Amino acid sequence: MAMTKKYDLAVKTGTYQKDGETKNRYENIGAVFQGDDGPFIVLKRSFNPAGVPFKEGSDSIMVSCFAPKDNNGGGNGGGQRQAAPAQRPAPAQRSDMDDDIPF
């Protein structure tokens, strides 16, 4: 399956001061990919939307889409974004786990 990364997904987690300016702090929570059958989203497993600051009286949060950075450090720059989550290989299957359950 061919897929292309279209966007990094990020949520605003707060602000910080730099050189007298207020800057936004973002956390990368996943990415949008274009696959053979259409777009799909990959989210960090540990992402908890309940921890994201929200507008008073709202039951929604805002997820921003940023053009992905290339491997050379290019891209749109700006913000305090973390790298996209790496895909972990599936754990190796253990042959001693293939036995029937004894109860």
Q: What's the confidence (pLDDT) of residue 5?
A: 95
Is 80 exceeded by the pLDDT of residue 58? yes
Long-range contacts of 34-40 (CB under 8 A, 24+ apart): 34/3, 34/4, 34/6, 35/1, 35/2, 35/3, 36/1, 36/2, 36/3, 39/6
User: Measured between alpha carbons, how far is 14 from 26 in angstroms, rounded to an integer?
Assistant: 7
Q: Binning pLDDT at 50, 70 and 90, where does residue 71 land? A: low
pLDDT of amino acid 83 = 45
Structural domain contains residue 76:
no
- Total structural domains within the chain: 1
Q: Which residue has the tokens 């696959």?
A: 35
User: Would the pLDDT of 31 be above 60?
Assistant: yes
Is the residue at 88 inside a domain?
Answer: no
Look at residue 25 and tell me whether its pLDDT is greater than 80: yes
State the residue range of the domain holding 41. Answer: 1-50+62-68
